Structure 1
Amino acid sequence: MSIHLERDLESLKHDILEQSALVEEMIRIACRGMVERRFGVYDELLSREPTINEREVEIEEECLKILALHQPVAVDLRRVATVMKVNTDLERIGDLAVNISERTESLSAAPSLELPDCVEAMSESAIEMVRDALDAFVELDPNAARQVCLRDDEVDAYNRTVIEAVYSVIQDEPELAQPVLHLFSASRNIERIADHATNIAEDVIYLVDGEITRHQRRGQEHHG
C-alpha cells in the first residue's frame, strides 16, 4: 500500500468515526426524550440533521476520490466499500432518530398513555447495538460483530411486545388510538435502528473475513 493511500484511508476512518459519534448522540437524545416525554427534542434533532446529511455526502465523495485516484484492491478495496455502506447506514439512523423525536411530540401530548415497560429496554438495546457494531468496526473484530447480529432478535421481540400493547390499548381505550399509533411508529423506528446496526456488523464481517453474511442470515430466518 502506498503512503498516500494509507493516509487517505486513515483520514476516511477518522471522518466515519466522527459521523458515528454524532449519530449515536442523536439516537440517545431521541430515545431518552421519548421515555421522558420531553417536548422540544424534535426541533433539536431536526437542527442537527443537515450536518449529518452534509457529512454523509462528503464521506461518499472522499470514498469515490480514493477509488478513482488509488484504485485499491483486496482488503483496501473492502475498507472503502465498507465505509461507504456504513456511511449510508449512519445517515439513515440519524433520520430514524428524527422520526422518533417527531413521534415523541405527539406522545407528550397524551400523558394518560403509559408506555410499555419494554420501551426503555428496547431503546437501550438498539443504542448498544449501534455502539457495539461501531466498536467492532474500529477494532476489526468479526466475533463482536456476530454478537451484534444475534442481538437483533432481542429488539424484534421487544417490538412485538409493543405491538401487542398497541392492540390492547386500541381495544380497551379507543380514545387513545391516535397517540398509541405514534408509539407503534416510534417502536418500529427503534427496531429499524437495530436493523441498521446489524447491517454495520455484517459489513465488519465482510471487511475482515471477506464473507457476505447478510443474505445468508436472512435466508436462514426465512426458512426457519
Structure 2
Amino acid sequence: MVVRESFQTQLDELRDMLVDLGRQAESALDDAIDSLKTQDVDKALRIIDNDFRINNLEEEINDKAILLIAKQAPVASDLRRIIVAIKISSDVERIADFAVNIAKSVIRIGKEPLIKELVDIPELAESAKTMLVEAIQAYNDEDIVLAKKMADRDDLVDEKYGQLIQELLGSMKDYPDSTNQIIQLSFICRYIERAADHATNIGENIVYLVKGKHYDLNE
C-alpha cells in the first residue's frame, strides 16, 4: 500500500511538472505576440534567451517518466499516463519553440513601419493560446469532452490562417519594399497555426489516456 501511494505521488508530481510546462509555453507565446505588437526587439531576445528553461523542464519530465517506467514497471492505465506525459511534453515544448520562432521574426522585422495595424495575427494567436490552455486543463482534469473540442477550434484556426496568408501574399504588390516584413508575418502566422496543431495532438493523447485507444481529432 505504501509503495502504491509513493508511486501515485510521483505520478502526481509528473502531472504537475507538465502543467507547469504548459503555463511556461503559454507565457512564451503571449510574450512573443506582445513583442510583435510593440516591435520590442529586446523582449523578443529575452524570449529566445529564456527558452532553455522550458527545454530543461521537458528533459526533467522525460527523465522522471523514464525512471518511473524503469523502477515501477507500471501496467495498463499507469503506463499510459506516463507515456502520454512524455508525448504531451514534446508537443508543449514544440509550441514554446514556435514562440521562439515568432520572436526571431520580430527581430528580423525590427522597427520597420508595419504595413497595417496588427489585429488579425494577435487574434489568431489568442485562439491558439486558448487551445493550449484548454488542452492543459483537459490533461489535468482528464476531461475528454474538453479535449475533443480541440478539433473544432483547430478548424477555425486553419480557416483564419488561410485567409491571413492570402491577404499577406496579396499585399506584396502594394508594398514591394516590405517583402521581408510580409514574409516574416506569414511565417508568424504559420508558427501560430502549427502551435494549434500541437494543441490538437495534446487533445488526442488525452483521449488515449482516458479511453485507452487512439483517436484522430482531425478526421
TM-score (norm 1): 0.92
Q: Name the % identity.
A: 29
Which structure 2 segments of 5+ residues have no match? none
5 Å-filtered alignment, 1:17-96, equals 17-96=19-98
Contact in 2 for aligned 1:202/1:212 (Cα 8 Å) = yes
Contact in 2 for aligned 1:169/1:176 (Cα 8 Å) = no
CA separation in 1, counterparts of 2:63 and 2:85?
11
Find the counterpart in structure 2 of residue 126 from structure 1: 128
Q: How far is the alpha carbon of 1:109 from its aligned partner?
A: 2.6
Contact in 1 for aligned 2:109/2:180 (Cα 8 Å) = no
Contact in 2 for aligned 1:169/1:177 (Cα 8 Å) = no
Residue deviations 1:151-197 (CA, integer Å, cap 9, x gap): 10111111111111122111222111111000011110011110111
Find the counterpart in structure 2 of residue 8 from structure 1: 10
CA separation in 2, counterparts of 1:115 and 1:155?
20
Q: How far is the alpha carbon of 1:37 from its aligned partner?
A: 2.4
Contact in 1 for aligned 2:124/2:157 (Cα 8 Å) = yes
Q: Does 1:194 align with 2:193?
A: no
Which structure 1 segments of 5+ residues have no match? none
Q: Secondary structure at the match of 1:72?
A: coil
Q: Secondary structure at the match of 2:116?
A: coil
CA separation in 1, counterparts of 2:114 and 2:91?
35
CA separation in 1, counterparts of 2:41 and 2:164?
22
Q: Secondary structure at the match of 1:21?
A: helix
Q: How far is the alpha carbon of 1:139 from its aligned partner?
A: 1.0
> Which amino acid in 2 is paired with 1:45?
I
Q: Secondary structure at the match of 2:50?
A: helix
Q: How far is the alpha carbon of 1:112 from its aligned partner?
A: 3.8
Q: 1:98–1:25: structure 2 CA closer, same or farther, 3 Å change rule?
A: same
Q: How far is the alpha carbon of 1:115 from its aligned partner?
A: 4.8
Q: How far is the alpha carbon of 1:46 from its aligned partner?
A: 1.3
TM-score (norm 2): 0.94
How many residues are matched? 217
Find the counterpart in structure 1 of residue 211 from structure 2: 209
Partner of residue 106 from structure 1, selected from 105, 108, 125: 108
Find the counterpart in structure 1 of residue 165 from structure 2: 163
> Which amino acid in 2 is paired with 1:188?
R
CA separation in 1, counterparts of 2:31 and 2:113?
20
CA separation in 2, counterparts of 1:211 and 1:119?
35
Find the counterpart in structure 1 of residue 178 from structure 2: 176
Q: How far is the alpha carbon of 1:79 from its aligned partner?
A: 0.4
Q: How far is the alpha carbon of 1:119 from its aligned partner?
A: 1.1
Between 1:35-44 and 1:118-127, the stretch displaced more is 35-44
Q: Secondary structure at the match of 1:113?
A: coil
CA root-mean-square deviation: 1.5
Contact in 2 for aligned 1:116/1:165 (Cα 8 Å) = no
Find the counterpart in structure 1 of residue 155 from structure 2: 153
Q: 1:188–1:115: structure 2 CA closer, same or farther, 3 Å change rule?
A: farther
